[in-house]
Each structure stands twice: as structure tokens, then as C-alpha cells.
Homo-oligomer: A and B are copies of this chain.
Amino acid sequence: MSNSADYDFLAGVRVVDFTQFEAGPTCTESLAWLGAEVVKIENPRSGDPGRRLRAGQPDDDPYYFQQFNANKKSITLNLKEPQGLALVKDLLRKADITVENMAPGTIERLGLGYDEVKKLNPGIIYCQVKGFGEGSPYEANLAFDMIAQATGGTISVTGEKGRQPVKPGLSFGDTGTGMTMAITLLAALRKRDKTGEGCRLQVAMQDAMLHYMRTNFATQSRTGKAIERDGTHSGGGSNTPSGLYPCAPGGPNDYIWIMTSRANPEHWSRLCKVMGKEDLIEDPRFATTAARVKNEAEVDSMIAAWTKARTKHEAMSEVGGAGIPAGPVLDTMELLNEPSFERRGIMQVMPHKTHPVKMPSWPVRINGKPPTVKASPGLGEHTAEVLTGWLGLSADEVGKLKADKIV
């Protein structure tokens, strides 16, 4: 089953990874999926705080850490000791890329700001993921996913019409930001390969949210008004029908999204046929998109009456099968248990010593298959391997560093 030769795109690329929690780790994990050697630098005491998400419990490797650190290595280093700092500088001399997402000013206080690291290695791609950008009114503030989604606008556009905003239920303030950095650093690496010249890259979570909201800004450019929430219908309001319709038996996620695109008038006529209402195709109240937008409430209630008599899967089979864009709302358990994801390698079981977990893998298939998941590292699991392999230290030297609590 292995296609390791296919996904070793980044073989030989060395990443010194100071990231923690999610916005940074998603970036370096994407590199690890694609074959880079990503070495997490962790404090010997407890490591990435993402390892201990369950407050007050002796949880040293929860699922959260596993999912954002697949395929990486881990070494421990006490950066507050001069010897630890010297070792990480030696690693940075050998690295192609380094990424950090600490609180504002922290990496500089450690003596590992760009100006210092550039002196050690002028070709390094030095990457920083922050909550807010330099020059932002919130520049010195802390940020987490929800803060980025509040200040980046994604919360303002999410929710039911006329009701309060809600946070999109996924942490794409973190992961979405990490993805933009991964793209940029890989492009920078290509130039570095040609010129030897490194650079400093920075992305703020708030700023990255704007990039994901360009459709909203396009709509606003036309209407001149801030985007209003309408999370059970399509954005923009110019495709009708397009929305969530309730299905049997009425559970919390028994809904189907049915969409008819204004770019394809066939969608509406196909839907009428599926519902056994061919007479509506030419009915002037519904014959054009504009007419349907005007009579949306009536359109929606006819469709809902039809969907309520079916499960979401039955409705999907009929509507989707007739060439109308549609999709049942699938919950996280249904997704985890959907056999085609596992068969296709889109969900894979991490071969972890204590907590094997089925998780989403890198979604892009390379010559037909996604890369294979490898275990997330135990804290310091690769300390000896990396210090020996990258820096040429002997086993004795590593042993002494351990005894001295440097690693």
C-alpha cells in the first residue's frame, strides 16, 4: 500500500519547529506530511502545552496533540540554559526553515529573533505566526482561534438571520492561518534554493481571516453594506432555492443543503421533476431566479415539505442523483465512521503506542493516494537521534546533556 516515493516531495528539508497548540503546528505538520524532517523543540518539563489540553489531568499525549503533530519528531531542549540555547543555534545553522508562534516578543527575548538567527544562517526561511500584525492596534495582544475569528470578521457573518452571531464551529482561525504560511514558505524555499538567500515571513491570524473572506468583501463591494448573517441560505441571496432543508426523523443534523445555481437553469427544473411538481417549472412565480428570490418563502416551504418526508440520505440519493448540487449535513461521528474515507486513506489510524486514533489525513492525493500517517512524537523521543544526526554528538555527550537537564 505504501507510496512513500510519491510523497517524499520535501525529503531532505529540515525544519526547526518552535510551534505550539495549533496555528503554528498545522503549518509544520503540512510540511511533515509531505516528507520534510520537522523537529519540534520542546521544553524538557512538559513540552508543547498542546500535549496537556485536559486541565488538571495527567494527560501527556491527548488526541489534540496527536492530530496536529503527526509525522514530526520531538527533541527536548532547555532554552533558558546557555548550553541549550547554543544547541538550538547549532540546529538552526543546519535548518532550511524555522517556524514559531509564541506570544509577541517571546522568541526575541530568548535571543532567537530574526536578526540573531539570520547571522547564524543567512539562508534560513524564518517564519512567525502571530495573532495580530505589526502596526495593528492589537499588536501586543494575545490571540487564540476565537479571537482571530472575532476580529477577522468570520464571526460577524455566521449565524441565523436576525439573530446573534456565532463562531464557526471549527478552528480554522488557527489552521487556515497555518496554511497560508506553508504556501509562502515553500515558495520562499524555491527562491532560496536558487539564490541562497533567506527571508523573514510573518502572518497574523486576524489578517489571514480576511483572505478567506473575499467572497464577503466582493458582495459588500456590490451592495455597499456590511454582510448580514443568513446561515441557512446561500450567501448573497441570489440563488433560490439554496439552503438547509429539514429531513426525517428530525434529529439535530437531519438536514440537507440543496442548491440551484443561477448559472444553470436546469437545476430548478430537475428539482421540480424530482419532487413530482413539473407544473412549477414554467409557473411564472418560480420560472426565473429573480421570481424565485421574490417568492423564496413559498419555494422553501414546498421543498421542506418534500424533504421532511425523507431521511437526509434518501433525499440526497434522489436530489443529488438527478444532477442537482446537494449534500446532507454530516456530523463528526458520521464522518468518522464513513467507510469510504478510511478506504480512500482520507481518514487513517495513527499507529500510536498508547492512543491509536483515527484522524483526517493530509487531504491531497498524490498519484491517487494521500500520504501515510506516522505517529506524533513522544516528548523528546528523537533527542538523541537528532543531536547525533544533525550535530554529530556522541551518545556519551547526549547522556551528559540529559544528566545536566539541558535536554
Contacts and interface: CB of A to CB of B under 8 A. Distances in A.
B156 A365 contact: no
B366 A184 contact: yes
Nearest to A293: B55
A198 to B, nearest CB: 10
Given A147-B325, A289-B55, A214 B360 contact: yes
A268 interface: no
Interface stretch (A71-79, A80-88, A160-168, A377-385): A160-168
A112 interface: no
A168 B6 CA distance: 35
A258 to B, nearest CB: 9
Interface residues of A, number: 155
Interface string A304-330: 000000000000100010011111111
Which residue, A244, A257, A363, has most C-beta atoms of chain B within 10 A? A363
A227 to B, nearest CB: 5
Interface in A145-171: 146-160, 163-171
A253 interface: yes
Contacts of A203: 363-365
Contacts of A231: 158-159, 166-169
Interface string A188-231: 11110100000111111011101111111111111001111111
Contacts of A66: 218
B262 A210 contact: no
A133 interface: yes
A135 B341 CA distance: 9
Which residue, A153, A189, A359, has most C-beta atoms of chain B within 10 A? A153
A170 B155 contact: no
Contacts of A149: 257
Given A9-B191, A160-B159, A187-B35, A332 B202 contact: no
A206 B122 CA distance: 41
B186 A187 contact: yes
A252 B253 CA distance: 26
A147 B329 CA distance: 9
26 contacts: A10-B187, A10-B190, A55-B238, A63-B222, A64-B215, A67-B218, A138-B316, A138-B320, A142-B323, A153-B331, A155-B255, A156-B332, A158-B169, A158-B231, A165-B252, A165-B329, A169-B229, A177-B363, A180-B363, A190-B193, A203-B364, A207-B363, A210-B347, A217-B359, A220-B332, A227-B332
